[in-house]
Amino acid sequence: GFFDIPVDNLYAEPAVLKWIRENISEWRNCTIVSPDAGGAKRLNVDFALIHKERKKANEVDRMVLVGDVKDRVAILVDDMADTCGTICHAAD
């Protein structure tokens, strides 16, 4: 709706999943950590969610990890990242 030329939406998910399977030997024993449920079901493995509370757009006030990542490989994913602040805060 915003373009007057043809555009395609490019999806990185297949390439990222392939990279994870080929480069992280323990991927079957990993936990996907995502800020939403949609991102959590990509590899058919355990998942945890990051619950965010925002003060305003692009500013996270507080985050809570819902799930268990202790002694597991945690793979953090996000489907939209403009500043990467959420994923960096989640990694901390």
Contact 40, 34 (CB under 8 A): yes
23-27, 28-32, 55-59: least confidently modelled range: 55-59
- Span 36-89, pLDDT tens digits: 666 556 667 788 888 877 777 766 678 888 888 888 888 888 777 778 877 888
Question: Considering the domain 29-91 in this protein, what is its CATH number?
Answer: 3.40.50.2020
Token representation of residue 69:
């990542």
At residue 61, what are phi and psi to the nearest 5 degrees?
Answer: -85, -45
Per-residue pLDDT, 41: 62
Per-residue pLDDT, 91: 84
The pTM of the whole model exceeds 0.85:
no
Over range 29-39, report the average pLDDT. 76
